[in-house]
Amino acid sequence: MKLEGIFDLPLHTGRVPPWLAIIMKRLSRAIIDVMVMEWGPDKVVERLSNPLWFQAFNNAIGMDWDSSGSTTVTLGIMKEVVDPLEHGFMILGGKGEKAREVPNEALRAEEVLGVNSGELIRLSKLIAKSDTVVIQDGHTLYHHSVIISESGKWAVIQQGMNLSTKLARRYHWHGTLDLSRSELISGFKQDFAIDASQNERLKKLVVDLVNERPSKVISEYKKAKAILSGNVPIEYYTRGYEIKFSKKLKIIYGKPVDERKIYEVLQKLYETKPKNLEEVLLNGLGPSTAKALYLISDLIYNEPPSYEDPVKVPYDPLKYALAHGGKDGAPIPINRRIAYEVIHTLEEIIEKAKLERHNKELALRKLRELYSGRAEEGT
């Protein structure tokens, strides 16, 4: 998998007015048509997976530059205007209940685009787990979209909400169905989070732990909780490494945990005998159980996750909002005249390009027919 980036956005309320929705749909359709003709569907999927490029696209069609709706509204509009047969890619899922439609929509993607629906469903579940279990940053996912091209290139864009900070966080993933992995992250940094994505030894240890008897894991979790509170057994001081129980760790792990539920999850995982972290995630590992395993890994086995928020601050994408303005008038109100001038210009370019392509194909077909006729006369 390839995590292209994370972008933080303030929570905004309100709806897109009907007159603006028309503009946004026509602009989106025109821009997508041009991109597909110029780059092809694979490159469009790749560009959409980049958080800054996606934000620029959102701004160019008239959505607020700093709104959480830049994810939900933009992807909703794109889903309406993208024609998989014409454009060579498809958008699945969406906000809330629409995210649950991915499995059914994956079957249609297989029918229309010829992609493997089973792999697509597995990919969707795995990435949703990655941003709730492997990375735990206080944001609850409420939007999940999968973008897939006819060649199998994919992007996943999902968004979580943090009510305490009033920020929505957007996660961008990109890759192919072989699940190759690297990452680039951008957004606004919080004080701390859990990020287990970079420590390969920790990942292996998590797999080893869930293959242990659940009672043993729970016992080690209780030891780790005791160490966290400052009750460090004397034998741990002879191991040659530092036992950490910082204030940050206490804040992260201090919330009450239902050990019975953790035991149930561990029992289920123990019975499935997962061989790698992907199988652990797909077989039921949730945030609470994962957090318990990370604490054990840190305080018992000295293999901690990162406690730094895995986000770097990018340059300000505000300049892209100057193209047509924003829904709520920030940084400038929407200029309908300019927006429609751009729409008409793009649509004329698209029609001309389609006509030229049609004439070129017609000429080639006539040339083939002429050549074929002369070849037959010569035989």
221 CB neighbour count, 10 Å cutoff = 24
Q: Token pair for residue 252? A: 């992260």
Strand-pair category, 140-149 with 89-95: antiparallel
Binned at pLDDT 50, 70 and 90, residue 49 comes out as confident
Q: How confident is the model at residue 332, as a pLDDT?
A: 55
CA atoms within 13 A on the CB side of 322: 4
43: Cβ–Cβ under 8 A, 6 or more apart, which residues?
35
| 272-310 pLDDT tens trace | 999 999 999 999 999 999 999 999 999 889 899 999 887
Do residues 312 and 187 make contact, with C-beta atoms less than 8 angstroms apart?
Answer: yes
What pairs with residue 161 in β-bridges? 140, 168
Give the residue, 319 or 24, on which the prediction is more confident: 24
Highest mean pLDDT among 41-45, 313-317, 319-323, 360-364: 41-45
Give pLDDT, residue 259.
Answer: 92
CB-CB contact of 177 with 154 (8 Å): yes
Residue 142, classified by CB atoms within 10 Å of its CB into exposed (0-12), middle (13-18) or buried (19+), is middle
- Segment 259-279 mean pLDDT: 96
The DSSP 8-state label assigned to residue 131 in this structure reads I
Instruction: Name the phi and psi angles at 2, rounded to 5.
Output: -130, 110
252, 191, 265, 262: which is closest to 222 by C-alpha?
262
